[in-house]
Amino acid sequence: MVSPPPLVRALQLRIIGLEALKDVISLFATSRDVDLDENHSILEQYHAQFTAAMRPAFTPETPPDITAIAAQVVAVWISSGVNKTVSDVRRVQSLLVTPLETIESPPDAAYNERATTMSRLAVLSSWARMAIIAAEGGESMSYLRTVVQPHLPALSKHWLSALNDYALITLPPEYRGQIPVRPSCPCVSCVAVCDHRRQQLTDI
């Protein structure tokens, strides 16, 4: 049995570690710190360590599949209520702001279009998770509404464009003429997705 190269093993370990971290947050976010009052999560004391540990996952040289999972982990942390002060939440949220602001930039040539698209859609999905919880959470989630609200105009445009393009690329063969030359989704990599789907339908 041939073992995977060290780099592949390292990437696999990063993915497993991120998935495990997401589970830890989900399981212990509501556990209270016995040394403080009941409004403090036991995970709150690890805010700085969490932010520092997640930051490398959002650097330009990080593989898109790592960034995609990291975006989910950050969204789980923010929406779990571990931190309830706006300043603390914004420090973690900043990890998702840069990927959102650069979502219309050309994809990294080092990775295929599908990987880049997956990463960018994961970022949009993570923002959607936070927006939904902020809208449905009542007064306890007022801090989350405060940090999400400024980004809603851009997010709404991106969400609607992504849904529109998803509907187009899942059209049956008889509607292939309706697939646009350029998709409405701001992700540049979605152009290749539409091109690929149009070619698939043409070959049928």
CA distances from 177 to 108, 168, 173, 180, 198 (A): 30, 10, 9, 8, 8
What pLDDT, on the 0 to 100 scale, is given for residue 125?
92
pLDDT of residue 189: 45
Is the confidence at residue 115, as pLDDT, over 90?
no
Q: How many angstroms separate the CA atoms of 43 and 81, rounded?
A: 10
Residue 157, C-beta contacts closer than 8 angstroms, at least 6 positions apart: 186
d(CA 197, CA 178): 12
Question: Residue 116 and residue 119: Cα distance in Å, rounded?
Answer: 5
Specify the pLDDT at position 186.
47
Q: How confident is the model over 58-75, as pLDDT tens digits?
A: 988 888 889 999 999 999
Report the Cα 52 to chain-centroid distance in Å: 17
User: pLDDT band at residue 9, thresholds of 50, 70 and 90?
Assistant: confident
What is the gyration radius of the CA atoms in the chain, in angstroms? 19
Instruction: Determine the pLDDT at residue 148.
Output: 92
> What tens digit of pLDDT does each residue of 140-193 get?
788 888 889 999 999 999 898 888 877 777 777 776 666 665 555 544 444 445
pLDDT at 137: 79
How far the first Cα of the chain sits from its last, in Å, is 40
Domain coordinates of the chain in residue numbers?
Answer: 6-151
Q: So what's the pLDDT on residue 156?
A: 92
pLDDT value for 34: 76
